[in-house]
Amino acid sequence: MKFGTLYAYWTHEWTGDYKHFAKKVKDIGFDILEISAGDLLKMSDTELTELKALAADLGIEISSNIGPPKSKDVASADPAVRQAGITFLTDIMKAMDKLDSRALVGVMYTYWPNEFDDLDKQAAWDRGVQSVKQLGKIAGDLGIDYCLEVVNRFETNILNTCEEAVQYLKDVDCDSVKMLLDTFHMNIEEDNMADAIRLAGSSLGHVHLGEGNRNLPGQGSLPWNDIGKALRDIGFSKGVVMEPFVTMGGTVGEDIKVWRDISRGADAAQMDKNISESLAFVRKAFLG
């Protein structure tokens, strides 16, 4: 397993200075920095090349995270919107290839945050499957894992459980399309998180970690030893990435619904100390 974190632990907007965060996560001891995939379309080839070189020098990997906007919904009833989504995600993957980022992760079978204005689940499922088939082929050609995030009922009505994701992947039938399980969402939807991980098996391409209130792993009550054993049982060797959201404010706080200071007033130094301790905790729990 390789351990990482999302940059947004330290930010209030869905953007950041990724060179700064690459150095920070390396110093803390992470193997992966997860960044905002949408930002890649704003970066020049020179900027992508520079970030790629820095990551290589530091010995870290970069994964790319996206929640496509409604105007780029690949499951939309509007064919023009679906095509816009396919083009958007294709352009992101082309930029990822320049960056040598090999995992695209997120709710890429619809849009996020969802407004629940179309509750015909089967129709959205079928349209999304056809779009993801196309995107999965592009991902495969580029050597990218296209990892579909399973999220809770308050964020989508399409993929809420591992069991649903297993069926969706069967319908897509593309080796480069994987699933992403997130402990925060699993805590809401799964009867047993360890069993869900074992059900995912080799189709699991990425994991997100967070407590039931989106705090750092080890700061709450989730069964981390059981989660780690399940990952070992399936021979999981890909990215295990923290996705903690602990401070209020900005677009991040609004989208994630952080309405109180979960960090308990931590300053910058304490934030770094907290995530460093969480990394040590997760490594111990997951590596046995």
Residue 284's region, left for phi above 0, alpha for psi from -120 to 50, else beta, is alpha
Q: Do the beta carbons of residue 163 and residue 199 sit within 8 Å?
A: yes
Amino acid at 143: G
Active site residues: 149, 243
Closest CA to 5 of 284, 282, 285, 287: 282
